[in-house]
Amino acid sequence: MALWCRGVQRILVDVRPIFSLFQTIGNTEYSSLSSVSRPEGLGSDEAKEAKTVEGHKPIVPLECRFVYPEFLPDPRLDHRNSLREKLERMDMLNRRAHIDIPEFYVGSILAVTSSNSHAPEKSSRFVGICIQRGGCGLRASFILRNVIDHQGVEMFYEMYSPVVQKIEVLRLEKRLDNELLYLRDALPEYSTFQLDMEPEFLPEGAPVPVNPIKVKLKPRPWLERWERQELKGVQDLGLPERFYKRAAEVARPWEKYDLMKEYRASIPAEEQEEIFVEVYSQLQQLEVMRKKMKRRRTFVRPKKMG
């Protein structure tokens, strides 16, 4: 037993220099790798910033999420698929290369030209106010409303549909509410626009104006319980007190403090930044090309008379 213990001790003594040698080599390699990967005199955060500057990462404005909301995916987890979303964004950029899809919001007045096989010129043009905008990806859509011959007419358009030939913004503005569906129960003058309305231009770089108008609704019955919705763009409804009491009973004021509900209904800011970094440069190129095409003057050859 004593001989066995002496043998083990002798082996450990012989192996100890080998361990020290490997430790020295490992420390040398680690120090050399760390000196190469991290610039001298920079911390971890500063090194990340230096890497970002060297990679020329584009700076995405914060308003992109409002100008191009359809590029953000559906926040519902059971509808998420990263590969499908990336392919859809590629298709959307390709579609934008063939048709100009300008910036607009709910409350803007648009004119949409779409193909129509039953029209004499195989196309039709509709002018109206945007009362709703929704969907994401290739399923992005919006609704236009106008009153024609004392009859309310609404048109539903898919933004990236090949049927849509041209989208024009006649008046760029916002409203106090995110949806204007209550215009269906409002007086006709709030939804009436001329079909030959001329476009109104804003100075370049000017902020989008917010129209503070408050519409007046018709007497009941209505399509929805508007008194139960916190609407900012509607005048006093003039209902009996029992309607407002019932609205207070069924209200859920705690939902605006529900952080988990808000998280599940939105896309995280980090993921939004990744998406817009991917598409922002191409969107800017398309915007520059669109401005050049507008500035270009077409030459019309004069016709000989007689």
CATH of the domain at 151: 2.30.30.790
Answer yes or no: is 18 within a domain: yes
Lowest mean pLDDT among 13-17, 108-112, 140-144, 259-263: 13-17
How many domains would you assign to the chain?
A: 1
Q: Retrieve residue 303's tokens.
A: 């016709």
Q: Which amino acid is at 110?
A: L
pLDDT for residue 2: 53
Domain assignment of residue 81, yes or no: yes
Q: Is residue 111 one of the residues assigned to a domain?
A: yes
Reported confidence tier of residue 286, pLDDT bands at 50, 70, 90: confident
Q: What does DSSP say about strands 164-171 and 109-115: parallel, antiparallel, or unpaired?
A: antiparallel
Q: Residues 31-41: what's their mean pLDDT?
A: 38
- Higher-confidence residue: 106 or 291? 106
CB 282 within 8 A of CB 93: yes
pLDDT of 156 > 80? The answer is yes
- pLDDT value at position 34? 39
Q: What is residue 304's predicted lDDT score, i.e. its pLDDT?
A: 62
Pair 173, 210: CB distance under 8 Å: yes
Q: Say what percent of the chain tops pLDDT 90.
A: 65
Residue 50 scores a pLDDT above 80: no
Arithmetic mean of pLDDT, 89-109: 95
* pLDDT confidence of residue 20: 52
Residue 109 counted as domain residue:
yes
Residue 253 has what pLDDT? 92
What residue numbers bound the domain in which 197 lies? 5-47+55-295
290 pLDDT band, cuts 50/70/90, is: confident
Angle at 21 between CA 16 and CA 25, to 5 degrees: 150
Collapse the DSSP code of 28 into the 3-class scheme (helix H, G, I; strand E, B; otherwise coil) and give the result: helix
* 257 pLDDT higher than 70: yes
pLDDT for residue 145: 98
3-state SS, one letter per residue, for 220-281: CCCCCCHHHCCCCCECCCCCCHHHHHHHHHHCCHHHHHCHHHHHHCCCCHHHHHHHHHHHHH
- For residue 302, being part of any structural domain is answered with no
Report residue 21's pLDDT band, with 50, 70 and 90 as the boundaries.
Answer: very low
- The rounded distance, in Å, linking the Cα atoms of 67 and 284 is 12
Which helix H or strand E contains 131, and what residues bound it?
Answer: strand 123-134
The answer as to whether 157 is a domain residue is yes
Q: Which of 104, 151, 149 is nearest to 129 (CA)?
A: 104
